[in-house]
Amino acid sequence: MAQEEGQPIFSEVTCQEIAQWASAYLDEHVEDERKRHIALHLAICAGCETYVKQIATVRDVVGILPKAIEQPSDSQRLRQAFVARARRLPASR
Ligand SMILES: [Zn+2]
């Protein structure tokens, strides 16, 4: 049994297609049959499985913290408060 690297085994989708469909797949905006093919590919392709998991994680974070990403002013205010506090500290040593 020779190993053929880089060849899809019995999945009908390629890694490139997984990359294209990852978002739609996570949104369940793909047909059932396509979803099955994608799931099958993810089961046999560690690279794509990791890729889709990473996208899912990023989307979770963005979904939970939309304000933190849209409003950088919070971190700016924190930094200003930090700088103001540092100025008040005696410059001993
Ligand atoms: Zn793949």
* pLDDT value of residue 47: 96
Would you tell me how many other CB atoms lie within 10 Å of the CB of residue 19? 13
pLDDT in tens, 53-92: 999 998 888 776 655 555 556 777 778 777 887 787 776 5
* Span from the CA of 66 to the centroid of ligand 1 (angstroms): 30
Structural domains of the chain sorted by starting position, each given as residue range(s) with its CATH number in brackets: 15-88 (1.10.10)
| pLDDT confidence tier of residue 11, bands split at 50, 70 and 90 | low
* Span from the CA of 63 to the centroid of ligand 1 (angstroms): 26
* Span from the CA of 30 to the centroid of ligand 1 (angstroms): 17
* Span from the CA of 2 to the centroid of ligand 1 (angstroms): 20
* Span from the CA of 48 to the centroid of ligand 1 (angstroms): 4
pLDDT in tens, 28-44: 999 999 999 999 999 99
* pLDDT value of residue 67: 59
* One-character DSSP codes across 63-93: HH-HHHHH-THHHHHHHHHHHHHHHHS----
